[in-house]
Structure 1
Amino acid sequence: MSGPSSRMLALLSLLQVHREWSGDELAGRLTVSPRTLRRDVDRLRELGYRIDSVRGPAGGYRLAAGSDLPPLLFDDDQAVAIAVALAVAPASGADIAEAAVRALATVRQVMPQRLRHRVDVVDAVVRAPGSRVDPDVLVAVSEAVHLRERLRFGHGADEAPRHVEPHAVVARDGRWYLLAWDLDRDDWRTYRLDRITPRMRTRARFEPRPVPGGDPGAFVAARFKGSDRDDVWPCTGTAVLAVAARDVAPYLPPEAEVEDLGPGRCRVRLGSWSWEGLAGRFAGFAVDFTVEGPDALRVAVAAVAVRLGSAAGR
Structure 2
Amino acid sequence: MYVIFDLVGISLFTDTSCAINFLYTNRLGGNKLGFLGGNLYLEPQTLYIALTALISYFLIFTCRYKGVKVLLGVMFLLLTIFLSFTVTKAGILAFILGFGIMNFYLFKHSSFRVRSAILIGIVLLVPVFGIFVFDGLKGKYEERAEEVVREIENVKRGIYEGGTIAPRIGLIRESFMHVDEFCVWGLGIYAKHRVNNWLQSSEDGLGAFTNVHNSFIHYWIQGGILGLAMIVFLFCAPFYRMFRTRRISWLICALLVVMFVMNNTCILLALNNSRLMILFLLGMFYFYGDVFWQLERGDSSMCL
TM-score clears 0.5: no
Please identify which structure carries the higher strand content.
1
Higher share of residues assigned helix: 2
Q: Whose radius of gyration is greater, 1 or 2?
A: 1
TM-score bucket (shorter structure): under 0.3
| Higher RCO (C-alpha under 8 Å, 6+ residues apart) | 2
